[in-house]
Structure 1
Amino acid sequence: MSRQPAKPHLATPEPSYLVGDLPEGIGDRDEPEPLVYTTTSPMPLIDPVTMSTTLIKGAPAQPAAPKAVVPAIPLLNTPLALPVSVVHQLVLAGLFVWRFEALVADPVSTLQIGLPVVAVIQTLYVTLCLPAAGSSGAKGSKKLRPGEKKKSDTREPKAFATAVISLVLALILTPVLHILFVLFGAPFLTHASHTFLCAAHIAVLAIYPIFYVRGSDPVPLQAVVSVSAPFDQTFGGFVGTVVGAWLGAVPIPLDWDREWQKWPVTIVAGAYVGYFVGSKLLGNVFYGKRWAVSEIKEE
């Protein structure tokens, strides 16, 4: 008996249904939930100018740079400094009293002869009693921490060379002082030699020591001119000389008919008396104090 070949088994296709005509029970099968895609709203555009302005406004303000501290200048820490400073005042005062009658009789000759003598006295004073500009003593005293040793500077400036340069700088300013005298009422067409020699004496008295201890640094010099530097013997002498010369002009126009009222006797007398009082009283009693506080306090 011959066998008939088997018919191939064909897969029965699943029936297709329309939506809503599903047979009962088919929709009850657990099917995975469809993926839901969410879209966010687009990011708004940012103006680069607005953004940079916001960043600048929000940034913390940078602290202002601290002002430089101008220290008071003490006397040298030597056995000669203090006694020489006292003798210096006595010698200047004695010289002024001794030559006062000659100053009244012949102001030009007396001031001309006395100027180099006063310059020598001031040079001995600054070199023996005061630290030169740029030295460790002229930078003010700094408190050392426990265990910290003071550093020695081998590049200390030469006192005599600094004194000569400072004297030259002070004398260069003499014409400037002469012009200031004229602006404040000094004779312009007459008594030119009187005014110039008076300005030279004030420059040697008040400005010469300032240049010696401060140098040409504009920061301390500006503090001296603006009367905001701390008091020491040099700055006290500067203030005393200026105030004394200004007060010395008061008796000149008075109707007293005194020989010593002529120009510039009272100006010179006021400058010397003011220098004595300022360098000793203001420089020692008010040492380190400031007339106009416009700088940060020294730590």
Structure 2
Amino acid sequence: MQLRNARVVLTGASGGIGMAIAEAVCAAGARVLAVARHQEALAPLLKRYPDALCWVAADLTLPSDKRKVLAAAEEMGGVNLLINAAGVNHFAMLEQLEDSDINAMLAVNINAPICLTKLLLPLLKQADSAMVVNVGSTYGSIGYAGYASYCATKFALRGFSEALRRELADTRVSVLYVAPRATRTSMNSATAQALNDALKANVDDPQTVASAVIHAIAGDRRDLYLGWPERFFVRLNNLLPQLVDRGLRKQLPLIRRFSEKPENETLKP
């Protein structure tokens, strides 16, 4: 779809990937409604694109705030591109998590995008061409120790994207599922980043992810998996999950050791 003059609702706009996407779609000529709880991180972009970018304060776990987003989208003249980029993460073994941590991931990562998409679908269907973009994760296809609850939410988001695409097959609304690999954002704790370093994991910049997302939107893609060999491992996990089990089993002692480190402790591989 064309981004010039597109009317975009973007959640998670103050986060690393979300802010990079906001800048990219504004630069492409779109009008963007940036959804975030706080404005401070967006201030430079709001100043740079005063005619293209506006902000609405919203906590997407609250029904009243989702309705605020709908009202702002209607005031913008409708929407033909919804990008669900809001997300939270928590690196820890399952028994180390509080129920509140798990509930927060479920609320933000899956309940919010499903409910907001449902709310905005009537506006999207009015457009000549429209798209829903759900930003998931490689961990939406490969279950990984230390991220059981996060993986659950991203597996769910991937399933939601697939089902919604089929549900909307006879409309002008398409669905794109995006699966970044590890990305350098503030969502990653110090322990998560230290684990990535110890494993020598590939870590992308948010701008790299945003550029790939923009090209996928312009190319009317249905899914986008970023990074090699991560795309290979996604396919291997589908075909030979026991082989992936054995490979990841070797990393388990290191994952456990890092998950037990206090956040303020110096972390070394």
Do these two structures clear the TM 0.5 threshold for a shared fold by scoring above it?
Answer: no
Larger Rg: 1
TM-score with structure 2 length normalisation? 0.30
TM-score with structure 1 length normalisation? 0.28
More strand by share: 2
